A and B are shown apart, each in its own frame.
Chain A
């Protein structure tokens, strides 16, 4: 087991069994690689670090196109597709709203706070991003952990992991294979709620979002760009499926807009809690053991 802090939370990975013979300490080295991988993306996506890729984009993309790498370009492309699909219920351009409600550091510059995913433009050929108006600030808080866990899952599968569990802050979880006792990795969506869904995560990911997960001034941390305010669509949303990134995108989305419960991509299952009642939709399909399948899974967001 390895635990480390990244992306404002605690990550843990339990690596139980590999399909190939390992050299002494090779599992330790694999866990070290996972920690470096996630911390690297933390450093790139952090809005708390002024030199991170995202902070540089937020500072200058309204003035000039910013060249970004293919991996970040692909992540932003998928997020913009999700925004289009959900008509803005999922939106990575709400950084200024997060700042206004005390969840993010306030920038030194005094550009008016604006948001809206339609103001974010990608040039796929030039590999650049720009904003069509000043004041836009990207924030990957609603997708980063899931994205990082998918990358970690891919790396672990490539190294031959056949049994293991990863989570970021317990709200994003990936189960690989079976647990050491031969049974599925069994996880309850919200531990303090006996009526919450209990999920068997065999080659599946899960994400849980709730407005009360983080609070400031009595308001939750999930923003609704459509109303320019903290969302209160439902009390909690849990999504299970083959990609942690897609699960997190949709658990965030459903907290903002529970009516999209039936619009879930194929292969994913969602449960949302309104008052004391949980309601569900969809059927989860496990991810393929092949590491390359992850990019195809992401395409579900684009359907």
Chain B
């Protein structure tokens, strides 16, 4: 088979397999299959912790038995979201209770290490939110502890477990986009990044994301999650990053930029252009892969492929759902297409039914139950976080930063 024929064959095979035979485990089957319930403790009852509690309650066989937070109001709010969890004000107290098998770490980034290491030392499975930590040393410490533990440890880089992203990666790997031209991503939101503090004494503590001493800024808190999609798709990590940042929307004396631009350079010459702002929400969060045959756009709950006019048409495209974007027509990448087709809902089901967090937690729980490996290991999470740390340094210093992953 010639190189050209091989590429066409792979593209067609991925199309037929991915679009019409792909049913992700998290969409189609029970996540936890053991008779005894998996008992999970959630550390941190802020916005992310409460979201985790909400998603965990959707999973059969899983019970949130403990919630921990130092803030009484947040703890009470988290407990109301559960169906009977106990409240704890310290991690130690929660870990010493006999009701926890696994721990979700949803505290501020710079406190992840302390919680993660304590949970692993207590023999608990852990899921640690993204980014993993705020320093390279903490990333190394968590990854090393996870390697030596007999527990399942997963990082919260959600692209790897997202059914739409898994589906689209099949197309990317099959050469449907052919020769990669460039990479781009953005994360646009309209939000102050301020946490209100009914107790003014706690304002600084609650607003850690605005403290440059511990915050990874937009590059680390938002960007790292997206950079990892490119790592996963291309099997490469950037080697150098150039960045700029400024305060454009929220002039309140903050030092952490609310708007950033980055260029992440790969060793093969490819460049990822990244822009993020919390001053405007237009187009939200998305990642783009531009190839000579097609571009792929990923938007967390949705994915699309945009074909070039000289790209060959594949059989499965005839049945595909399409959406118009101004002058471009996107072929919707639908996860679970076979199931939807059976239900006569293929044209309706263009997006994921659950948020990305659900699939990340479900993947971790599935790995615990099966003794398998989670989609995002702690080693992968550590590498992705170090890229985010370097990107934030580039923004804060306005100087190029080399990315060295060899020390992890």
Q: Do A and B come from one complex?
A: yes
Chain A interface (Cβ < 8 Å from any Cβ of B): 20-21, 23-26, 28-30, 32-33, 36, 44, 50-51, 56, 67-71, 73, 108, 127, 158-160
Q: What would 24 A/B residue contacts be, using CB atoms closer than 8 Å?
A: A21-B200, A23-B203, A24-B252, A25-B250, A25-B252, A26-B194, A26-B197, A28-B194, A29-B192, A30-B196, A32-B192, A51-B354, A67-B57, A67-B83, A69-B53, A69-B81, A70-B79, A70-B82, A71-B80, A108-B345, A127-B83, A158-B73, A158-B198, A159-B198
B253 within 8 A of A: yes
CA distance A302 to B309 in the complex (A): 66
The minimal Cβ–Cβ distance linking A16 to chain B, given in whole angstroms, is 16
* CB-based closest 7 A-B pairs: A24-B252, A29-B194, A127-B83, A71-B80, A51-B353, A30-B196, A25-B192
Which residues of A have CB within 8 Å of B83? 67-70, 73, 127
Which residues of A have CB within 8 Å of B54? 44, 69
Contact between B57 and A69 (Cβ–Cβ < 8 Å)? yes
Which residues of B have CB within 8 Å of A108? 343, 345
CA distance A21 to B197 in the complex (A): 11
The minimal Cβ–Cβ distance linking A56 to chain B, given in whole angstroms, is 7
> B243-254 vs A: 1/0 string, CB under 8 Å?
000000010110
CA distance A70 to B78 in the complex (A): 10
Taking CB as reference atom, which chain A residue is nearest B194? A29
The minimal Cβ–Cβ distance linking B301 to chain A, given in whole angstroms, is 11
Which residues of A have CB within 8 Å of B84? 70, 127
Contact between A70 and B194 (Cβ–Cβ < 8 Å)? no
Please name 4 further chain A to chain B contacts, defined as beta carbons within 8 Å, in addition to the given A25-B192, A25-B250, A26-B196, sorted by A numbering.
A28-B192, A29-B194, A69-B82, A160-B198
| With A159-B198, A160-B198: A32-B57 Cβ-Cβ less than 8 Å | no
Chain B interface (Cβ < 8 Å from any Cβ of A): 47, 53-54, 57-58, 73, 79-84, 191-192, 194-198, 200, 203, 250, 252-253, 343, 345, 353-354
Which residues of B have CB within 8 Å of A24? 252-253
CA distance A20 to B200 in the complex (A): 9
Taking CB as reference atom, which chain A residue is nearest B190? A32
Taking CB as reference atom, which chain B residue is nearest A26? B196
Which residues of B have CB within 8 Å of A70? 79-84
The minimal Cβ–Cβ distance linking B40 to chain A, given in whole angstroms, is 14
The minimal Cβ–Cβ distance linking B206 to chain A, given in whole angstroms, is 10
Taking CB as reference atom, which chain B residue is nearest A23? B203
CA distance A21 to B53 in the complex (A): 33
The minimal Cβ–Cβ distance linking A160 to chain B, given in whole angstroms, is 7
Q: Which of B73, B81, B82, B195 touches A29 (beta carbons < 8 Å)?
A: B195
Contact between B196 and A36 (Cβ–Cβ < 8 Å)? no
Which residues of A have CB within 8 Å of B198? 158-160
Q: Which of A21, A33, A67 touches B196 (beta carbons < 8 Å)?
A: A33
The minimal Cβ–Cβ distance linking B343 to chain A, given in whole angstroms, is 7
Contact between A36 and B253 (Cβ–Cβ < 8 Å)? no
Which residues of B have CB within 8 Å of A29? 192, 194-196
Which residues of A have CB within 8 Å of B194? 23, 25-26, 28-29
Taking CB as reference atom, which chain A residue is nearest B193? A29
Which residues of A have CB within 8 Å of B197? 23, 26
CA distance A71 to B82 in the complex (A): 8
Contact between A159 and B196 (Cβ–Cβ < 8 Å)? yes
Which residues of B have CB within 8 Å of A50? 353
Which residues of A have CB within 8 Å of B196? 26, 29-30, 33, 159
CA distance A209 to B194 in the complex (A): 37
CA distance A21 to B354 in the complex (A): 39
